[in-house]
Amino acid sequence: MMKSILKVVMVAVLTVVVAWAGNVWAAGQITVGVAVSQTGRYAEPAGRFVNSWKMYVDQQNAKGGWIGKKINLTILDDKSDKQQSIKLFEKLITHDKVNFTMGPYSSGITDAVANIIERYKYPTMAPGASSGVIWQKGRKYLFNIIAVAQDYQKGALHIAKDIGVKRIAVVGEDSLFPRQTAEGVRAWAKKLGLKIVLEESYPRKQQDFTALLTKIKSRRAEALISNSYFADATAQIRGLRELNINLKMFAGTVGPALPKFAKSLGNTAEYVLGFSQWEPKPDILKRAGMKAYIAEYVKRYGVKPNYHAGQSYASFQVLGAAIAAAGSIDRAKVWKTMRSFSTNTVIGPWKVDGNNLNSHEGLTFQILKGQRKIVWPAKLAEAKYTLPMPNWKSR
């Protein structure tokens, strides 16, 4: 009996000591929490987010952290699912009581968790969201960093006009980001005098595009503007080749920007246009800190960072700069700072307008000999685009 009582007392004392030690440790650190897609359909681009976040935190902690406090980063897996992400952000804020949060990957998931961020007044960067509509809802605590979806095909449409295209087909997955991209395509096509001869959305998991591509051919479209991710963009360009449908131009969004697009498609990916928020080309873009960031990323992961990695690293740079400028981890003070200050990141300058939108300009690239070459805007072009695309049988 006596032994049992002593055991209970010892456990209780140990629990108190552990809790006290935890509080002491927590007092000397800044906690940042995020739920992001480590599994599921967004795991590939979101994995590059995670790489940059871990690297940034290690680098910053080696310098003493933020305002003398070490950064403790908690990363949870939202499984590429909105409802799961909502639950995890609620947990991070109300149970784990993190000091700050970082946005997830994809416009749809960010839009879903933005309501929680707003409710608890957590100033949060949104590295994985480009749909402009997210910032048209009167929210105050979610901060944009990258170009909005409505401008993803802006460069491609300017190039289409340059090469004499008059009839375009616009397709995309039926989800938030592709719908927003299509909205921008309609607006830019109207400004540039391009006629949309077909516009169609398809279900998220569609893999066979034979009927859609045949319809595009029947409408005599000269260019396919595809607001797509990796799997659908890959299936469409392969389908064009298999059906021997020859267009002057194919422009994708997220799919061609992933390194595995050119690698897995080989010759079929040649001449495809894609969009990038940033490219690891410091001699062209001349952003502060780019060379050091790229060198460290290559040293750590064995590959160059793509734009997903760059924009996620930049998001931590902004948050860190805001905390430094505020001189505090008080969220109200940091939020107020973020609304008004300006800073520089590896992907470019950052300063938001009254709707928390940053005026970041994206890039259009073309895959040439397996490499992405910036071809638009002209002031940053490293190569002249090679268009119209040659016929499949002549490649």
Pair of tokens at residue 147:
């170009």
* Segments in the chain forming alpha helices (H): 2-27, 43-62, 82-94, 107-120, 154-162, 176-192, 210-218, 230-242, 254-257, 259-265, 282-285, 290-301, 307-326, 331-340
Q: What pLDDT score was predicted for residue 28?
A: 83
Q: What's the Cα-to-Cα distance from 331 to each of 39, 163, 169, 335, 349, rounded to whole Å?
A: 30, 51, 46, 6, 23
pTM here? 0.83
Q: What pLDDT score was predicted for residue 205?
A: 82
Q: What's the Cα-to-Cα distance from 344 to each of 188, 317, 349, rounded to whole Å?
A: 29, 8, 4
Q: What is the DSSP letter of 258?
A: S
Q: Could you tell me what percent of the chain has a pLDDT over 90?
A: 87
Q: What pLDDT score was predicted for residue 379?
A: 92
297, 300, 301, 307: CA torsion to nearest 10: -10
Profile the chain (395 residues) by mean pLDDT over runs of 10 residues. Answer: 47 43 60 97 92 98 97 97 97 98 95 97 96 92 96 97 98 92 97 98 92 98 95 96 98 90 96 96 95 98 95 98 98 98 97 96 96 95 97 94
Round to the nearest angstrom and report the end-to-end CA distance of the chain: 86
Phi, psi of 238 (to 5 degrees): -65, -40
Phi, psi of 78 (to 5 degrees): -85, 0
Q: What pLDDT score was predicted for residue 375?
A: 98
CA distance 44 to 47: 5
CA distance 109 to 85: 7
